[in-house]
Amino acid sequence: MESAESLTAYLLDVILSHLLLTCTLLLVTVAAICWYIRDSSLVDGFSHKYVFITGCDTGFGNLLARQLDRKGFRVIAACLTEKGAADLKSVASPALKTLLLNVTDSESISRAVELVRREVGERGLWGLVNNAGRSVPIGPTEWMQLKDFTKVLDVNLIGVIEVTLQLLPLLKKARGRVVNVASVLGRLSITGGGYCLSKWGVEAFSDSLRRDMHHFGIKVSIIEPGFFKTGVTQLDLIEADLRRLWTHLPQHVKDSYGATYLDDYIKTQEISMNILCSPDLSKVTNCMEHALTARFPLTRYSAGWDAKLLWIPLSYLPSFVSDFAIDMLLPLPKEKRNN
């Protein structure tokens, strides 16, 4: 009798376990399907939506402008140079408009905003993509002067803020989107100079803007790319600027790092960039496109295998872990080696 009762209890346990597992799998499947349907739901009327993109001479901005142009959006692409604007127009449809913009010049921003205002009319501006950026000067903090920080901050952060503030009335009219290009280095500072500071600032500005503007129907998304082959990661420019910084250092600072440190630092960067940098810029521009076209855009988009598998996970770990990992990537100064 006891054996029969034990067998019955065992069978009930097995059945309940299977039912629980089946229900769990069913719920997960339903949740995944619902998320996919929600994520795939797009807005309509692309041909009536205006998108303004900064930094379109090359890189992400250039590719996004062409990508959205093919989708039928009314693209207004801001370039720093006349050559950049001419090259872009030569490969886009007649509907794509270009203008010249220096995001560090308030008068240039005001002129661009007026042109955008005349172009969009009463429809307002559906999308603003703050993409313009620079990386150099970048390197060890002690090598920098204040002007080296401001060169980068003026483009990557102050420029983003001023362009956004001036275009907010047009964005409110369209209940549109703001897409700000930050970086994984806005989550984890791995080098000195203004780049990491600016991208942390973009993250903070975007978060506060999102919370303020959702009352008016404006959605704000942040793009956090890993390392990609663009002008920002152009090794010859970074190397030339590092040598400039080194040349202006006092001798006692050079001595503390050691005679070979600069070359070791540059070599380490070359190796890291060759391993990490992806040539597929569409991984980033597809995130930008989703942020502009999805009915329910994400707050943050990570792009690139290194962002997803390395930098962003590392940013959540205790500081001593991330410090150790970053130390492994960079050469040691002479004084540290001798301790």
Which of the residues are catalytic? 195
**248-278 exposure pattern, b = at least 16 Cβ within 10 A, e = fewer:** ebeeeebeebbeebbeebbeebeeeeeebbb
Tokens standing for residue 314: 């590392």
Q: State how far Cα 167 lies from the chain centre.
A: 20
Q: What is the DSSP string of 266-320?
A: HHHHHHHHHHH-BS-THHHHHHHHHHHHBSS--SEEEESHHIIIIIHHHHHS-HH
What is the rounded CA–CA span in Å between residue 58 and residue 36? 32
Does residue 194 contact residue 148 with C-beta atoms inside 8 Å? yes
CA atoms in the 13 A half-sphere facing the CB of 281: 15
**55 Cβ partners below 8 Å, 6+ apart?**
61, 78, 79, 80, 131, 132, 133
What is the rounded CA–CA span in Å between residue 264 and residue 191? 15
**80 Cβ partners below 8 Å, 6+ apart?**
55, 57, 100, 101, 102, 132
Tokens standing for residue 332: 């040691």
CA atoms in the 13 A half-sphere facing the CB of 224: 29
